[in-house]
Amino acid sequence: MPPGLPGSSGSGPSTACSWPHSPLQPNSDPSAVGSLAGLANRLAYLRDTLGMSNFLIGGGVNPVGPASGCPTDFAAIRPPLGRLSDLSALAKKGRKKGFNLILELDLSQADPAWSDKPDDFIKSPWPGKSSRDSKLAWSNEQLHLPRSTCNSLNVSSPSVRSRLGAALTAWLDAGVSGFLLNNVAFMAPTVADSPPIPNSDWFASDPRASSV
């Protein structure tokens, strides 16, 4: 995690947490999820019948721009999932039954409207570099993930670091136990290039493209 964000060595005292590998039981019918408030009513069943002890709220937590599909606010939650108060209630109730609430986020990219400061987005020092799917990783002076129209954030920018840190702090204050961060390699000061590999599973081994 880049220094200066909550949980990193540059932000003062922090607690490092990890969860043992365990079977992932995704919901097979997304339409049946309902909301965070509905999930809070099924804790006993999930723990006692399915043996679950962690919640991983997957990608797509944040509201996105209608045109880009990219995050517009890292501290907000999409209305279909519920409200922030619903998440806090779930975390509080879940903790009493031994659940951890883990949030999956991608803080490496955002909707163009996320900031009006040009320095908040990464400009290309390596025009023409290619991503693993053989397509240009850089275009229009912005770094793009494969099949993504999101603008990559410049985490070296003080304003970006401040806003991302505030967003993570808000989630922790709401009761989230920890985070699963996607595309962390894109948040490094420099981005390494990788040659294409001759199969369709390039995304499985490329940390820069774990959520495309």
Residues 121-131: pLDDT tens digits? 876 554 555 55
DSSP alpha helix (H) spans, 49-98: 84-96
Q: Is the pLDDT of residue 191 over 60?
A: no
Which residue is associated with the tokens 């590999």? 197
CA distance 61 to 103: 8
Say if 4 falls within a structural domain.
Answer: no
Say if 22 falls within a structural domain.
Answer: no
**According to the model, what pLDDT value does residue 48 have?**
72
Could you tell me what percent of the chain has a pLDDT over 70?
58
Domain count, the chain: 1
Say if 194 falls within a structural domain.
Answer: yes
Say if 137 falls within a structural domain.
Answer: yes
> Residue 87 belongs to a domain with what CATH number?
3.20.20.80
Residues 90, 40: contact at Cβ < 8 Å? yes
CA distance 153 to 117: 11
Say if 1 falls within a structural domain.
Answer: no
Say if 24 falls within a structural domain.
Answer: no
Q: Is the pLDDT of residue 61 over 50?
A: yes
**Tokens linked to 6:** 């909550």
Say if 212 falls within a structural domain.
Answer: no
Q: What range defines the domain where residue 128 resides?
A: 9-14+29-207
Say if 87 falls within a structural domain.
Answer: yes
CA distance 154 to 158: 9
At 173, is the pLDDT very low, low, confident or very high (cuts 50, 70, 90)?
A: very high
Report pLDDT digits (tens) over 8-24: 333 333 334 444 444 45
At 67, is the pLDDT very low, low, confident or very high (cuts 50, 70, 90)?
A: confident
Q: Is the pLDDT of residue 82 over 80?
A: yes
